[in-house]
Chain A
């Protein structure tokens, strides 16, 4: 199918459908090209337990707001798919599914959009493919030993998908902490590699954090208003999880579950992952940023005479990150190379466990049987690399 129209919208998700609704309202001719089905990434690229990070009352589209009986709840991925599919029917969006756009080429007066043998010509193109649809796999992932499975947050589904053994989760923003939490609760040994992250409590002074971000105007800030746009754009997503009842999920939560914390994954030396020694500063910086945000919320309450309606600030604050923990877990960390070393030799059963004492890998190696090397299971990683030992002792 090919054709000529005013606007080509690429992607039939939240943004693409919203644009379609507005264009339709204004009588602007358009087509929405979608590589899969409507809400494709919500159908095909999300893990099973994921819920939206934003409460239901925040989920809005042009002409549609949440009217269910759980405004403070968090939608499952299936519910998001239903919502978007229903919305598409309601607005009669001209979606063409199963069309993967290969390129957009500017020409006089507009663009040619190529998808396989099809070509769409338009005056304007709206790219609505999502902010995080391509896994950003750290370069070091290419050096990971072949016998380790690695997958990205786009291909991870649930703990049962992984062969037995410990897991290194790389990245401590929403996806990373949620996957680490789920794996730790399933009984896995988990080590979380922590870089820059933004720690926020799920609720503060009786309100959801997103309620506060909306109230203090943080969601109205435009990129033009920031002092350093590039820095703002690189800012990590909020460390949050949606669910009922609402709960905090941060590195303290994970430490309490027995997960180990290490710095950013920066290299692979043979069978050892090398992690940056900057973990303490990452934790401190996240605490300081959180304090500044909560101070800003407190100021807002003060200025708007709102104090009688919400809890007082003091006890509602989450406790500081316990950054001493990672140093007290020598069984999980080996201080032999630059930064922290994770003992992760090829055929090791459980080198990170307390049973083996100090993560002493030569001894651990003797304890386990070698296993045949199998090819990597999945495309390497984005924000999260599952570095996963496929060996059973």
Chain B
């Protein structure tokens, strides 16, 4: 039995700046050729001084070949003055929250477009709770990472509250960063 919850989607034309046809074509192409779907994302981080570091993002691999972003993107990471640092950049934990928000927001735009919902404004506020006793080594029973993360979407669009909740829900189901933060990932760290 198919469950009664599968929707048939008619797509009215909306313009959220998402190339829906390209996305749907890509899905078909990658279904047919799984090898092309193997992407490798790369970030290169240079220590500057103290807790200040600078990460450059430029090359990536996918669709069977190497690519370059249109330009190199640079992200400064540091700790705030609260931690006796110089505050030359966002803390890496905040950058992780930014990654989550960016990923979910891209998902919201894509899913909304797929469902024919015109967006006017989408704001996501992300809060991550972190007990600093973990990272500082004050209590071995306190984990280093976030105890919990909350994302609150404020969306202005021509859709009911339930429809928007469904868009936000679906964006979580398709988000790489949400997945990375909610599931264990094997991380190997070593010397070059």
Contacts and interface: CB of A to CB of B under 8 A. Distances in A.
Interface string A313-330: 000000000000001000
Interface residues of A, number: 43
A285 interface: yes
A238 interface: yes
B143 A285 contact: no
B113 to A, nearest CB: 15
Contacts of B21: none
A359 B188 CA distance: 30
Contact of A227 (B4, B8, B149, B184): B8
Nearest to B144: A336
A219 B2 CA distance: 7
Tell me if A's interface is mostly helix, strand, loop or mixed: mixed
A200 to B, nearest CB: 8
B162 A267 contact: no
Contact of B5 (A233, A281, A289): A289
Nearest to A280: B172
B172 to A, nearest CB: 5
B82 interface: no
A227 B9 CA distance: 7
A274 B143 CA distance: 14
B65 interface: no
Band of interface residues on B: 20 to 34
Given A284-B165, A285-B169, A288-B169, A235 B147 contact: no
A336 B144 CA distance: 8
B41 to A, nearest CB: 20
Interface in A226-280: 226-228, 231-233, 235-238, 263, 266-267, 269, 274, 276-278
B8 to A, nearest CB: 5
A342 to B, nearest CB: 14
B6 A231 contact: yes
Contact of A338 (B2, B4, B169, B183): B183
Nearest to A274: B184
Interface in B137-192: 141, 143, 145, 147-149, 162, 165-166, 169-170, 172-173, 178, 181-185
A293 interface: yes
Contacts of B178: 278
Contact of B184 (A218, A222, A267, A284): A267
A202 to B, nearest CB: 15
Contacts of B143: 335-337
Contacts of A266: 183-184
Tell me if B's interface is mostly helix, strand, loop or mixed: loop
Contacts of A225: 8
B182 A216 contact: no
A334 B15 CA distance: 44
B1 interface: yes
A228 B3 CA distance: 12
Nearest to B185: A338
A281 B6 contact: no
A288 B162 contact: yes
Contacts of B165: 284, 288
Contacts of A335: 143, 147-148
Contacts of B2: 218, 221-223, 226, 232-233, 235
Contact of B182 (A198, A288, A339): A339
B8 A291 contact: no
Contacts of B185: 338
A296 interface: yes
Interface in A188-232: 198, 213, 216, 218-219, 221-223, 225-228, 231-232
A377 interface: no
Given A288-B162, A335-B147, A216 B4 contact: yes
A269 B184 contact: yes
Interface of A: 198, 213, 216, 218-219, 221-223, 225-228, 231-233, 235-238, 263, 266-267, 269, 274, 276-278, 281, 284-285, 288-289, 291-293, 296, 327, 335-339, 360
5 contacts: A226-B6, A276-B182, A281-B172, A292-B162, A338-B185
Given A281-B172, A338-B145, 4 more contacts: A226-B8, A278-B182, A337-B143, A339-B184
The 8 A-B pairs with the shortest beta carbon distances in the complex, nearest first, are: A218-B4, A277-B182, A235-B3, A267-B184, A338-B184, A336-B143, A289-B5, A281-B172
